[in-house]
Amino acid sequence: MNEGPTLRTRVIYFAQARERAGTAGEPLELPAGSRVRDALRALAAKHPALAPLEGTLAVAVDGTLARADDALQDGAELALLPPVSGG
């Protein structure tokens, strides 16, 4: 892990993301100053099966939909929400 300041987050997976990650949730530690995109990269590296969902996942941070360039705060909760299909 990186030396230096870090931030700790909690990731919650829903639907396909949960199936592909093989878990309902987990802690994620990132370097201080990380953004949503950095969290997604770290998660894709840890769980390669998430890669096909890249670009289609919605991410909520502390219950609010977030953009890739949004900064993360220590203690944030990230929810990965795959697209919903149906008809």
pLDDT tens readout for residues 8-56: 999 999 999 999 999 999 999 999 999 999 999 999 999 999 988 988 9
Q: What is the pTM of this model?
A: 0.89
Instruction: Indicate the domain borders of the chain.
Output: 6-76
Each residue's pLDDT tens digit, 8-21: 999 999 999 999 99
Rounded to an integer, the average pLDDT of 50-78 is 95
Q: 6-76: what CATH class? A: alpha beta
Residue 11 neighbours by CB under 8 Å, 6+ apart: 25, 26, 27, 28, 39, 43, 77, 78, 79, 80
pLDDT value for 66: 97
